[in-house]
Each structure stands twice: as structure tokens, then as C-alpha cells.
Amino acid sequence: MRKAILMLTIMFALPAAVHAGYRQDFENEFLSKTWAGFQMEENLCISCHASEKMKPQFRGITEAWQSSWHAQNNVSCENCHGGDPRDAALAMSPQRGFIGVPAYKDVAEFCGKCHLGILAIFRESGHGKSLLSGSVSSSCVTAIKAGKKAPNCVTCHGSHNIQKASISIINEQLCSQCHSYERAKVMKQALFLTEEKFSRIEQRLLELKRESINVDTEEKNLFSTQEEFRTLFHTQDVNLVKSRTDEFSAKLDQIDKNIQTTYQELRFRKNMSGFLMLSFSCMGIVIFLISRRNE
Amino acid sequence: MWNKIKSWLDVRYGTNAIIQKQIQEQILDYRIPKNTNIFYTLGFITVIAFCIQAFTGILLLLYYIPHPDHAFRSVQDIMTKVPYGWLFREMHTVGSNLMITVLLLHMVTVFLMGNYKRPRELTWLVGGLALIVTMTFGYSGHLLPWSQLSYWSTTVVTSMPTAFPIVGDTIAHILRGGDHITGTTLSRFFELHIAILPLLFLTLMGIHLFLIYRTGISATPFGKQDTESRPLTEYTRKAYPDGYPYYPDFFRKQMYMTMAYFAVMFFIITFFPALFFPPEANIAADPFKTPHEIRPAWYLIAQYETLRLIPNKFIGIALQLFLAVLFLFWPFLDTQAEKNLMKRPVLRGVFVFLLAAWVVLLFWGRT
């Protein structure tokens, strides 16, 4: 047997000496083999933009995108800019739908490819009309005269490092670049209570997720309600927001009720397994004591 | 009613005499050495753990659908819609990890007590194989919920054989049923988990119990000297006429340890229900989205970390295979009569080093 072990050791040791590899090689190979799936295929947009060849002002784009809400939701370069990130020759070809950087006026349409509901409402809003048809409301006159452009999506949301939208986007610093903050402040107040409910429910869903509960349905309901509600903001019509707040509040209450039911279920589970734990512990102790007494 | 059935069987097959004889011989007359401790019950606990796994697994099978399009949904339905589905899934998941823990502990204590030594070499070998089968049970079951955790940890585990030259890729290909983790992999792992491995485990258990029965229990906890003659020339079953009876004395020990096993299981389910369900376990498998941290289940982390740490990948996999072979065949190599590990400093040192290395690699891999 000892000889067999010795032979086995030699069998492993000899090819090991021939099969020289290094940790880096191994890790590279380990993480880039075909089993890792298609997502490991190289994205040419990212590799090129992150490379030294790129002009410095374009190099930060990939990093900004990587920390964005879009990246977290698998929205990649080609989803907005078109092109083919897998084909070096045609990566930026119009044949593959490459758009590149849209004109300032076209940004709303550019984002609206996905955000359809918001685009429709934005077109009808003061911001949208100023941008798309050039009709200027009284509050915009001063800004336009001062050489400001009417706002598009990027003005408030940014371009590549787009974060999950929240009520904090409405702030004095941003709004007062073009007009007084007063009207935006009233809008923010109208949104406030409902937004607070949104964040409270989000927090509770996160807690449930940590408890390993699947909350897909509630998350989807919350997301669609939130999107619908925030779409309203793009009208910049405070009265509309106020009039529909009750409707959204009822929807949120329903989601909250479902969450409450899940919490009750969790409490029941805890009590039941706790009861089983105590039952088995007691039985164990009783048997142990009987066993000791009879020894 | 019961008496009628017994009598019906007895007049035809003489069952009463057989049962009484077996109870008398195997339970009432069977004597256990006086110096046994609670660690002697760990083998029995493993059998109980397997029974729990089989029972809860059969219940889960009623609702589980082994198809990539439905597996995740069906598991979520078990957790949320099926009455008490959550309880049986928790018991199955926590139980699988506890079963591996108990079996590991069983092996370690048997090693420490020197109970693997002659004439019990085969008993150890079969037990070691059962441990490997149990771990395979674990990682084959890991894929079945088809979550991000399942998908990516299986990706990592099935890639480990690729470190082996020439045949490594073929092994990985056979395991996955292709280059990627797909529906074929799910079908293979499902078949392995519910059909092949239970049969293998039961066979090994049968052989293990038969060997224990034939050699008799070893009465050498913590360093009693080996009294068996050398070389072994004839078969003798180790008997303990001065020992205490299996029933009720040792049986009680087994029972309170079983209760302790259940209590630990429900303790985890009550206070740490998400211990084996990190957030990725609640997201459906997505081959296009790699989680930030990919790692296998805890019992394979040490092996995975070894592969990552050793610069030469062949040495990494060869070392592990070598250690596995050494572990399985150790009783054939260790022919010394001394069973007390405290009197064998080299072996003790190697054992402590390996155990410490395993623990360090485990925690290193988890952080």
C-alpha cells in the first residue's frame, strides 16, 4: 500500500512539474471559460472606452455607467446608443442601429424609447413644450433670455451615472438654475407623503428579502405604482398630483397590507419552529435525565 | 387488529419466532462497551438525518418541477403557497448542512478515538465514501432551486475539475451535459439527487452497518490500547459480556442525541431562517448576470480556496485528490498498535494542522 501511495505521489508530482501554470493564469482561465455564460463575452464599448486609446474625457463613461441604476438593471451601452458591442468592425455602424450621442433636442426621444409613459407626459409638460416646440412659458422667459436651454432628461437625471430617481432630484440648486424654486417646492410637498410611503415600503421589502422571502410580486407592484406616480411629476402640474394622490395611496396601502400578511406569516413560522425546538429540547432533557437516573 | 395480522403472518411464515429471536439477539442481548460516549451516537444520528432528508425530500417532490422555466417558481411556491412547504424546505436545507456536519464530526471523532484501526479499515473506507456521497447530495441539491446562488455556485463547483489536465474538461462536460449550466445539467443533478445518490448512500450504509455488526463496536475511546492479536489470523467478533445492554441504555443515548439534533435544526430554522438562503437564493438564475461574489457551499469552500491559492492548478487538484485518497485509505497505512493520539505527536500535529487549515480556508473563503 505504501508503494501504491508513493507511486501515486510520483504520478501527480511529475506532470505537475511539466504542467506549469501561475495563479493569475488560472484565475483568468477560471473566470473566463465558456461555462461562465454569454455575459463573459467581451463588450467592445466598455473595453474600448476604458482603454488608453480613448480620449480622456470619454474614459470615465464606463466607470460612471457601472455605478448607475441602468447597469444594475442590465441596461447596457447598445440599449441606448445602438450598435453592436460584439462586432468590432460594425460596433459603431448605423447599419447596426448606432446612434452615438443624440442631439440635445432629441434626448427625450432617445430616453423615451424605453420610458414611453414619461415621454408622452413630458411632451405635454412645460419643460417638454419649451424643448420640443420652442413654446416658452412665462416662467421660462427669463432663463431662455439668459441663454439657458430648455431642460431635457439629462438636465435633471444626468447621463451615464443615472441613479434611481427619488424626490431629492427636486431641489433648489437644480431648479433655480432656470426659474424660481417656489413652484417646484409646492410640487415636492405634494409628492412628499406618497414618496415617504414608497420608501417605507421599499425598506420593508428589503427586510423581507433579508429574511429570505421572495417579494417579486410586491416589488413589481411597487415599481409600477412608483413609475406611474413619478410620471405625474413630469407634467409639472401640482393640482394633478394632488388630485391623484389618494388613488396612489390606496394602491400603496394594498401593497402594505400584503407585506403585513407576510410579516404575520413570518411570525407564525417563527412561533411554530420555536415550539418544535422547545418540544424536542424538552424531550431530549427528559430522556437524558431518565438515562442518568438509570445509570 | 394488530394481533390478527401478526397471527396471520405467523401461521404462514413463522414470523413471530424470527422477530423475537432478532429482538433478543440484536437488541436485548447486544452489549455495548461501558466506556462509550455520546460521540458513538453520531453514526446513528447520520442515519436519522438521512431519513429526515428522504422524508422532507419526498414531500418537496410533490410540488417541485425540475425544469429551468419552472424550478425557481415552484420552489418559491413551496415557500409561500404550499401549506407548511416552508417548514419542509427549511428542514431539508438545514438538515442537509447538518447531516454533512454530523458526518464530518463522526469521521473526526472516529479518527481521534483511533476506531478506524484494524480490523475496521473497510468500515472507515465505506464511511469515507458515504461522506463523499453526502457532499455530492449537497451540491447536487444546491442547483435544484435554480436560483442565482444555485446557478453560480454550481458553475464554480463544476469548473473545479477543469483544473485537471486532459480529462478535466471532459469531466466538467459530463457533469454539466455541455459547456454551460443548462436544463440538461438540472436534469442530471436532479436524477443524481433523487435516484442515484440515495441508492448509493443506502448501499454504503448497509455495508457500513454490516461491517460494524460483524466486527463489533470498538471500545477504545481516547487512547485505550489495542488488544487485538497481531497479525490477525482468524475472525472474532468483538463482544463485551461485561458491557451494558444496547436497549435501553445505549438506545436512550441515541434518543436524546436525536432530540438534540432536531432541537439544533429547529433552533436554526427559528432564529436564523435565512442562514442558508443568502439574497442570491431568492433571485431566479440568470446566466447573463454574474453575482459579485461567487462561491460554492461551505463544505466545498476549502477545496475551492486551495485551488485558487496554489499557483499551479494541477498541483492544486492533485494535492486534493492525494489527500482524499490518503484520507480514505489511511487505516491501511497506519498500522501502529497505539490508538492514543496523545502518544503520537507527529500524527496529532498533522491532524491539527489539516483541521486548522480546513477551518482557516473555510473562513477565508467566506469573507
Percent of chain A with pLDDT over 90: 16
How many domains, in total, are found in chain A?
A: 2
Residue A290 corresponds to which cell in the numbers above? 431518565
Other CB atoms closer than 10 Å to residue B150's CB: what's the count?
Answer: 25
Residue A226 has pLDDT above 50, yes or no: yes
Q: Same domain for A128 and A225?
A: no
Select the residue of A39, A212, A276 nearest B290 (Cβ to Cβ).
A39
| Per-residue pLDDT at A37 | 40
Q: In the predicted model, what is the mean pLDDT of chain B? A: 89
Domains and CATH numbers, chain B: 37-220+241-295 (1.20.810.10)
How high is the ipTM of this complex? Answer: 0.90
Q: Is A89 on the interface with B (CB under 8 A)?
A: no
Cα distance between the two ends of chain B:
60
Which distant-in-sequence residues (6+ apart) come within 8 Å of B300 by Cβ? B135, B139, B157, B160
Phi, psi at B147, each rounded to 5°: -100, 175
A195 occurs within a structural domain: yes
Which distant-in-sequence residues (6+ apart) come within 8 Å of A171 by Cβ? none
Q: Across residues A18-34, what is the average pLDDT?
A: 48
Please tell me the distance from the alpha carbon of residue A68 to that of residue A164, in angstroms, as a whole number: 8
Which distant-in-sequence residues (6+ apart) come within 8 Å of A19 by Cβ? B165, B312, B313, B314
**With an 8 Å Cβ cutoff, are B313 and A210 in contact?**
no
Q: Same domain for A200 and A288?
A: yes
**With an 8 Å Cβ cutoff, are B288 and A35 in contact?**
no
Q: Is A33 on the interface with B (CB under 8 A)?
A: yes
- For residues A35 and A57, the model is more confident at A57
Testing the interface with B: which of A32, A86, A280 to mutate, by most B Cβ within 10 A? A280
Residues of A whose CB is below 8 A from B308 = 23, 26-27, 30
Q: Same domain for A152 and A186?
A: no
User: How confident is the model over A176-225, as pLDDT tens digits?
Assistant: 888 888 878 888 888 888 888 998 999 999 888 888 788 888 999 998 88
| Per-residue pLDDT at B325 | 92
Q: Same domain for A153 and A187?
A: no
Q: Is B38 on the interface with A (CB under 8 A)?
A: no
- Burial track B296-333 (b if 16+ CB lie within 10 A, e otherwise): bbbbbbbbbbbbbebebbbbbbbbbebeeeebbbbbbe
A210 occurs within a structural domain: yes
Select the residue of B180, B256, B269 nearest A273 (Cβ to Cβ).
B269
User: How confident is the model over B239-289, as pLDDT tens digits?
Assistant: 888 888 888 889 999 999 999 999 999 999 999 999 999 888 888 998 877
Residues of A whose CB is below 8 A from B269 = 273, 277
Q: Same domain for A216 and A288?
A: yes
List the single range of A198-212, B54-68, B183-197, B303-317 with lowest mean pLDDT: B303-317
Q: Same domain for A228 and A263?
A: yes
Residue A79 backbone zone (phi > 0: left; psi -120 to 50: alpha; other: beta): alpha
- State the DSSP H helix or E strand holding residue B31, giving kind and residue range, or none if neither: strand B31-32
Q: Same domain for A138 and A204?
A: no
Q: Which of A283, A281, A295, A293 is nearest to B36 (CA)?
A: A295
**Distance from the A295 Cα atom to the nearest Cα atom in chain B, whole angstroms:** 8
Q: Is A294 on the interface with B (CB under 8 A)?
A: yes
A26 occurs within a structural domain: no
**With an 8 Å Cβ cutoff, are A269 and B86 in contact?**
yes
Q: Same domain for A295 and A228?
A: yes
A35 occurs within a structural domain: no
DSSP secondary structure, B329-367, as one string: HHHHH---S---GGG-HHHHHHHHHHHHHHHHHHHHHH-
B284 forms bridges with which residues in the sheet? B147
Domain assignment of residue A243, given as a range: 182-295
Phi, psi at B122, each rounded to 5°: -70, -35
- For residues A13 and B37, the model is more confident at B37
Other CB atoms closer than 10 Å to residue B157's CB: what's the count?
Answer: 21
Residues of B whose CB is below 8 A from A209 = 279, 282
Residue B86 corresponds to which cell in the numbers above? 416552508
| Per-residue pLDDT at A31 | 45
Residues of A numbered 199-238 whose beta carbons fall under 8 angstroms of chain B's beta carbons: which are they? 209-214, 216
**With an 8 Å Cβ cutoff, are A280 and B259 in contact?**
yes
**With an 8 Å Cβ cutoff, are B290 and A36 in contact?**
yes
Are B365 and B357 a contacting pair, CB within 8 Å?
Answer: no
Select the residue of B273, B312, B326 nearest A212 (Cβ to Cβ).
B273
Size of interface A-B (CB pairs under 8 A): 150
Q: Which of these three, A120, A141, A157, is where a domain ends?
A: A157
Residues of B whose CB is below 8 A from A269 = 86-87, 273
User: How confident is the model over B96-113, as pLDDT tens digits?
Assistant: 999 999 999 999 999 988
